[in-house]
């Protein structure tokens, strides 16, 4: 099983980080190489440009791919299926035009020229809108094209909006909303390794923003403590062995998974309810 991942650019680091946290440690030097092995002898990694990854998966150079949804749409591949939204690399593809110009609606683009790195998505977008502007394909610095009279408007990626603003461009409409996805070629989806990889990556996502809480509670106070521990399934309650190795019945250990945002309040509440020796730890993975 081979996974294609971005070789550089802003998606490279977070993707490698995710694989590592999922337990798929890379081996044999990830640096500047085309391939890397992982600790799992059945899983290897192919490094490719974010834009090429959907094709690589569709053509069989890799079986699974991790890249932006925008790239998957642009590639027009019809034999791959999305397996998981990895929820990073969030951005929007937008139609944008000079702030002080007269192009303010999609319909205004009729008879105009639009520059983009995403010609397929862009022509679909305009076809749906029933207009047919000229589309000029560029490979970068799209935001500059309206200033050098190469184009009247652009379709490009934005996230914070800084680049558009710097180039005095305003959003006319949203074309697509994107984030990084795990996807696979249709003919490998039955392979059990696919589900293993998907579960491993999903478990990292599940654990994000969650904390593990452990505490000791006098048995008599257990109900009161249980009442103030929020959601995510009931807490786990365990007997505690005393110093003599015997299991006592006066105190129990309570463990619970809690949303990060609830930790502060929960600690205050469980303490009030009678808990002691409270420990908070990060969770690496959470398999549901
Ligand atoms: N500003 C951004 N915020 C969030 N995600 C982004 C942003 N820009 C790009 N992305 C996502 O990252 C993907 C790859 O973009 P990136 O800029 O890393 O590569 P690239 O410039 O296309 O690659 P290359 O340098 O190989 O040409 C995009 O397709 C998109 O899904
Ligand atoms: O809304 P913003 O936060 O300003 O982000 C948008 C910019 O981010 C991307 O470029 P990137 O930084 O990846 O540089 P690149 O042109 O080298 O790909 C994209 O092509 C935009 O130019
Ligand atoms: Mg870029």
Q: Looking at ligand 1, which atom is closest to the CA of residue 10?
A: 18
Residue nearest to atom 10 of ligand 2 (CA): 157
Residue nearest to atom 22 of ligand 2 (CA): 163
> What tokens were used for 118?
């995403």
How far is 131 from 134, CA to CA, in rounded Å? 10
**Residue with the two structure tokens 């690399």:** 89
Which residues have C-beta atoms less than 6 Å from ligand 2?
A: 10, 140, 156-163
For range 245-273, the mean pLDDT:
88
Question: With contact defined as beta carbons under 8 Å apart, do 91 and 171 qualify?
Answer: no
Nearest to 176 by CA among 119, 93, 104: 93
Residue nearest to atom 28 of ligand 1 (CA): 68
* Amino acid 243: pLDDT: 58
Give residue 170 CA to ligand 2 midpoint distance, Å. Answer: 15
From residue 47, alpha-carbon distances to 65, 103, 152, 189 in Å are 10, 40, 36, 21
Enumerate domains of the chain plus CATH numbers: 2-89+179-206 (3.40.190.10), 91-178 (3.40.190.10), 209-282 (3.30.70.120)
Question: With contact defined as beta carbons under 8 Å apart, do 36 and 28 qualify?
Answer: yes
* Amino acid 28: pLDDT: 74
> What tokens were used for 187?
């003919």
For range 166-187, the mean pLDDT:
98
* Amino acid 230: pLDDT: 79
For range 6-32, the mean pLDDT:
89
Q: Looking at ligand 1, which atom is closest to the CA of residue 180?
A: 31
The strand pair at 153-158 and 113-116 is best described as parallel
* Amino acid 242: pLDDT: 67
With cut-offs at 50, 70 and 90, classify the pLDDT of residue 33. Answer: confident
pLDDT tens profile 183-197: 999 999 999 999 999
With cut-offs at 50, 70 and 90, classify the pLDDT of residue 246. Answer: low
pLDDT tens profile 113-148: 999 999 999 999 999 999 999 999 999 999 999 999
* Amino acid 238: pLDDT: 85
With cut-offs at 50, 70 and 90, classify the pLDDT of residue 157. Answer: very high
For range 167-189, the mean pLDDT:
98
The strand pair at 2-6 and 64-68 is best described as parallel
Q: Looking at ligand 1, which atom is closest to the CA of residue 158?
A: 1
For range 173-187, the mean pLDDT:
98
* Amino acid 233: pLDDT: 61
* Amino acid 288: pLDDT: 77
With cut-offs at 50, 70 and 90, classify the pLDDT of residue 32. Answer: low
Strand, helix or coil for residue 224: helix
């Amino acid at each position: 099983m081979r996974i294609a991942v971005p070789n550089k650019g802003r998606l490279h680091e977070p993707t490698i980080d995710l694989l590592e946290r999922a337990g798929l440690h890379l081996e044999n030097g990830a640096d500047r190489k085309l391939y890397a092995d992982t600790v799992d002898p059945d899983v290897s990694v192919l490094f490719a440009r974010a834009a090429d990854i959907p094709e690589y998966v569709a053509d069989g150079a890799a079986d699974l791919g991790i890249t932006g949804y925008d790239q998957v749409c642009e590639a027009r591949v019809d034999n791959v299926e999305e397996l998981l939204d990895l929820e990073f690399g969030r951005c929007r593809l937008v139609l944008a035009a000079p702030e002080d110009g007269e192009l303010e609606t999609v319909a205004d683009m009729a008879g105009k020229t639009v520059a983009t790195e995403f010609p397929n998505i862009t022509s679909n977008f305009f076809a749906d809108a029933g207009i047919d502007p000229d589309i000029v394909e560029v490979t970068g610095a799209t935001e500059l094209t309206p200033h050098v009279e190469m184009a009247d408007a652009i379709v490009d990626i934005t996230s914070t909006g800084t680049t558009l603003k710097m180039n005095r461009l305003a959003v006319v409409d949203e074309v697509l909303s994107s984030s990084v996805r795990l996807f696979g070629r249709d003919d490998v989806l039955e392979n059990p390794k696919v589900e293993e990889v998907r579960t491993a990556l999903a478990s990292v996502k599940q654990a994000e923003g969650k904390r593990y809480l452990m505490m000791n509670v006098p048995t008599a106070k257990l109900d009161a403590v249980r009442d103030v521990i929020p959601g995510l399934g009931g807490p786990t309650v365990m007997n505690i062995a005393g110093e003599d190795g015997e299991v006592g019945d006066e105190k129990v250990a309570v463990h619970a998974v809690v949303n990060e945002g609830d930790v502060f309040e929960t600690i205050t509440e469980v303490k009030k309810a009678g808990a002691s020796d409270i420990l908070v730890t990060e969770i690496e993975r959470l398999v549901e």
